[in-house]
Amino acid sequence: MKLSEILKDVRTKSVQGPVDRLIRSLRYDSRRVEANDVFFAWKGEKTDGHNHIAEVCDKGAAAVVLDNPDFAAGRGPTFIEVESARRAMAVMSASFFGRPDRALKMSGVTGTNGKTTTTFILKHLLSEPKVPVGLIGTVRYEIGERILPAPRTTPESLDLHELLSQMRAANCRVAVMEVSSHALEQGRVAPIDFQVGIFTNLTQDHLDYHHTMENYFEAKSILFTNLDRKENPGVAVINADDPYGQKLIRLLDGRVRTITYTLNGLAGTEIEAREVSVTVAGTEGTLRMGTEIITFSLPLIGSYNVANALAAVGGALALGIAPRVIVERLRTTPQVPGRLEKFASADDVTAVVDYAHTDDAVRKALTVLRGITRGRLIAVLGCGGNRDAVKRPLMARAAVECADYSIFTADNPRNENVEVILDQMEAGIPPSAYHDKYERLVDRRQAIAHALALAQPGDVVCVAGKGHETTQEIAGQYHPFDDRILVQEFLQRRAA
């Protein structure tokens, strides 16, 4: 493909060199650049791609797209100055791969909590025999029958459009994906025209990046304001029970078709769950979709999983799935990896692994588990290093307030000292009220083993924070570590 074809939808500031060059591939990693590639350079949080321009020139790059014209060497490649190389890469990647997003019905799910569960449920609701549905999210990427590990929730735009092109080749008709606030703000999902945008909720998280909740909300809202198109407009599915959901409804102001859902009986909503009852086996209730009222069962526990299911129901309705088909498929929803994922011992101890890593998510998970706990509720959790430190004391307080006993431990320490993280967590706990309701154990494996050794028949142990993750990041190294494997190992030892 010629450079001119790839550039056709990009707003350029200046172009130095020919645009009739044949392009082999697009790259944002200088180490992977080969002759006749296009290299994208921007200043990131940790490294500056501009510093690698001389290197890619030596490798025979055909073009360099850059933010900073001071690095244009004037030799070899065509230098293309743009406002944002990262955003330009999204547009050029879409063109390079032949706009695979237009061959798919694109559904994007955003929010602080519930994105993964909602995407898994929606994928299940949309799945038809011999018509595969693509999935992109925190746990994994699915391309037809192929399952790939997920390095990040929402891939960089170049990787994203390559995945979408593979989905098109695998005859997928629909792609369901988690869309993070970072991806929206950085333009990673541009220029995709989503047919459906789903908003689950907004609670405090990622303030190390967004700084304020207002900035965080504005980043999330990009997915929905982009649904307002003259041609092929999208549908917004919004949690009406969430204050930021209400704010989003007001922001859209009727310009976008909106399907709202509620667990709290709010009037004027299109989807509502009523008479919900939860057992250790799952959830049952009555589902109203427009004027149709049908009983439903869901093999997932917790009211917030019902909310996630309602979000998925809204997405399925928007894409034309009939209400009675939706209810039938809800009944066979698979368990979501690391999202209130249940394991049991032979002597009646239940362990649940959950990805909860905000105070709101911890509180909700433990509240759900309290409802199915006959004995004591024990929590194991830590806070990730090099991430939002403001939530650490809030998470610890949520744990001691909602569980009978808590063990604070490492999560992914990254480049921080675990003891310092635990000190910050402990600072959120009033010293007199809860001094006998928690302890600290730096080693996560030991903490999980200790919690399951403390448990008695009828107790529930919630291991929170890492969920589906299979590694633990310490000082730049990734070590094999899976909460789910450890939980099963220690539960089996109870029977020995």
Under 8 Å between Cβ of 319 and 127: no
336 is a domain residue: no
| Local confidence pLDDT in tens for the 496 residues of the chain | 999 999 999 999 999 999 999 999 999 999 999 999 999 999 988 899 999 999 999 999 999 999 999 998 767 999 999 999 999 999 999 999 999 999 999 999 999 989 999 999 999 999 988 889 999 999 999 998 899 999 889 999 999 999 999 999 999 999 999 999 999 999 999 899 999 999 999 986 666 776 799 999 999 999 999 999 999 999 999 999 999 999 999 999 999 999 999 999 999 999 999 999 988 889 999 999 999 999 999 999 988 899 999 999 999 999 999 999 999 999 999 999 999 999 999 999 999 999 999 898 899 999 999 999 999 999 999 999 999 899 999 999 999 999 999 999 999 999 999 999 999 999 999 887 788 999 999 999 999 999 999 999 999 999 999 999 999 999 999 999 999 999 999 999 987 6
Phi, psi of 33 (to 5 degrees): -70, 135
429 is a domain residue: yes
Judgement on whether residues 346 and 301 belong to the same structural domain of the protein: no
Judgement on whether residues 139 and 169 belong to the same structural domain of the protein: yes
Global pTM? 0.86
Under 8 Å between Cβ of 13 and 95: no
Q: Find tokens 């065509």 and name the residue.
A: 78
172 is a domain residue: yes
335 is a domain residue: no
Judgement on whether residues 223 and 324 belong to the same structural domain of the protein: yes
Integer Cα distance of 375 and 378 in angstroms = 10
Judgement on whether residues 60 and 204 belong to the same structural domain of the protein: no
Judgement on whether residues 110 and 255 belong to the same structural domain of the protein: yes
Note the pLDDT of residue 392: 97
Judgement on whether residues 204 and 347 belong to the same structural domain of the protein: no
CATH number at residue 436: 3.90.190.20
Note the pLDDT of residue 120: 97
CATH number at residue 90: 3.40.1390.10
Give the angle subtended at the CA of 471 by the CAs of 450 and 463, to the nearest 5°: 35
Judgement on whether residues 391 and 470 belong to the same structural domain of the protein: yes
CATH number at residue 219: 3.40.1190.10
For 191-248, write each residue's pLDDT tens digit: 999 999 999 999 866 667 767 999 999 999 999 999 999 999 999 999 999 999 999 9
H helix and E strand count, the chain = 16, 24
Q: Find tokens 């030596």 and name the residue.
A: 58
Phi, psi of 118 (to 5 degrees): -60, -45
Judgement on whether residues 91 and 105 belong to the same structural domain of the protein: no
Q: Strand (E) positions, 314-401?
A: 341-344, 350-354, 377-381
Judgement on whether residues 431 and 368 belong to the same structural domain of the protein: yes
| Residue range(s) defining the domain that contains residue 430 | 341-495
Judgement on whether residues 232 and 355 belong to the same structural domain of the protein: no
Note the pLDDT of residue 494: 84
Integer Cα distance of 28 and 42 in angstroms = 9
- Of 40, 47, 92, nearest in space to 67 by CA: 40
Of the residues 52, 75, 96, the one at which a domain ends: 96
Q: Give the number of domains in the chain.
A: 3
- Of 478, 460, 477, 461, nearest in space to 469 by CA: 478
Report helix, strand or coil for 280: coil
Cβ neighbours of residue 7 under 8 Å, at least 6 residues apart? Answer: 15, 19, 80, 92
Q: How many of the other CB atoms lie within 10 Å of CB of 290? A: 10
The continuous run of DSSP H or E covering 418 comes out as helix 418-426
115 is a domain residue: yes
Give the angle subtended at the CA of 37 by the CAs of 36 and 38, to the nearest 5°: 125
Cα-trace Rg, the chain: 24
Judgement on whether residues 87 and 126 belong to the same structural domain of the protein: no
Integer Cα distance of 413 and 88 in angstroms = 34
Q: Using CB atoms within 10 A of its CB, is residue 280 exposed (0-12), middle (13-18) or buried (19+)?
A: middle
391 is a domain residue: yes
Of the residues 296, 330, 364, the one at which a domain ends: 330
Note the pLDDT of residue 207: 64
Under 8 Å between Cβ of 343 and 491: yes
Q: Which amino acid is at 227?
A: L
Of the residues 96, 117, 140, the one at which a domain ends: 96
8-state DSSP, 111: S
Judgement on whether residues 157 and 296 belong to the same structural domain of the protein: yes
